[in-house]
Amino acid sequence: MSVQTNKALVLDYVERVWNGGNETALDELTTPTFRYWMGSQPGRDHAQMRQLIRMLHTAFPDWSVKVVEIVAEENTVVIRWEGNVTHLGTYQGIPATGKQIAVNGINMYHIIGGKVATEWEQTHVLGWLQQMGVLPATEEKPG
């Protein structure tokens, strides 16, 4: 697959799976052995990924992120994304706060046979919790 084709695949995946919550697209656009990792958490398979997507779309019904940068080389694609979502449902046991949350992250995808085989995500969940008011904001110390 060409680098441009791989970029298009990842953009389609983000739009249909992450933004759209489309579980059929998850199966269509990923390999049977697909795994998703975030931070040091164990890899998630298709079933666990479906649960994650459902939880996000329940907690943040307006979930939609924009890819602001995309870089690819051979079968690896990296995106930087950002968005603003509203906390209107339970997230990780935290009841809805009604607060708008700025979210962002960087994801790396490995493509095999025209499908997403792995996805690695780094995002600032601590910042989400601070914006929800669950954790205190980090104080900046004079330099």
68-123 pLDDT, tens per residue? 999 999 999 999 999 999 999 999 999 999 999 999 999 999 999 999 999 999 99
User: Does the residue 120 lie in any domain?
Assistant: yes
- pLDDT score of 65: 96
Q: What does the pLDDT average to over 63-72? A: 98
Q: What does the pLDDT average to over 34-45? A: 92
Helix, strand, or coil (residue 117): strand
74 secondary structure, DSSP code: T
- pLDDT score of 142: 67
Full domain range(s) for residue 55: 3-132
User: Does the residue 53 lie in any domain?
Assistant: yes
Tokens representing 93 are 């046991």
pTM for the whole structure:
0.91
Task: Please give the tally of structural domains in the chain.
Answer: 1
Strands (E), 3-47: 30-38
User: Does the residue 140 lie in any domain?
Assistant: no
Tokens representing 99 are 């607060």
Q: What is the CATH number of the domain that holds 13?
A: 3.10.450.50
Query: Around Cβ 18, how many Cβ atoms within 10 Å?
Result: 24
Taking only Cα atoms into account, the Rg of the chain, rounded to an integer number of angstroms, comes to 16
Calculate what percentage of the chain has a pLDDT beyond 70: 97
Please report the sign of the dihedral spanned by the C-alpha atoms of residue 58, residue 120, residue 122, residue 126. positive
Residue 16: half-sphere exposure toward Cβ, Cα within 13 Å: 15
User: Does the residue 24 lie in any domain?
Assistant: yes
User: Does the residue 88 lie in any domain?
Assistant: yes
- pLDDT score of 6: 98
Closest CA to 37 of 108, 140, 135: 108
User: Does the residue 138 lie in any domain?
Assistant: no
User: Does the residue 15 lie in any domain?
Assistant: yes
User: Does the residue 65 lie in any domain?
Assistant: yes
To 10 degrees, the CA torsion angle through 16, 22, 28, 33? 110
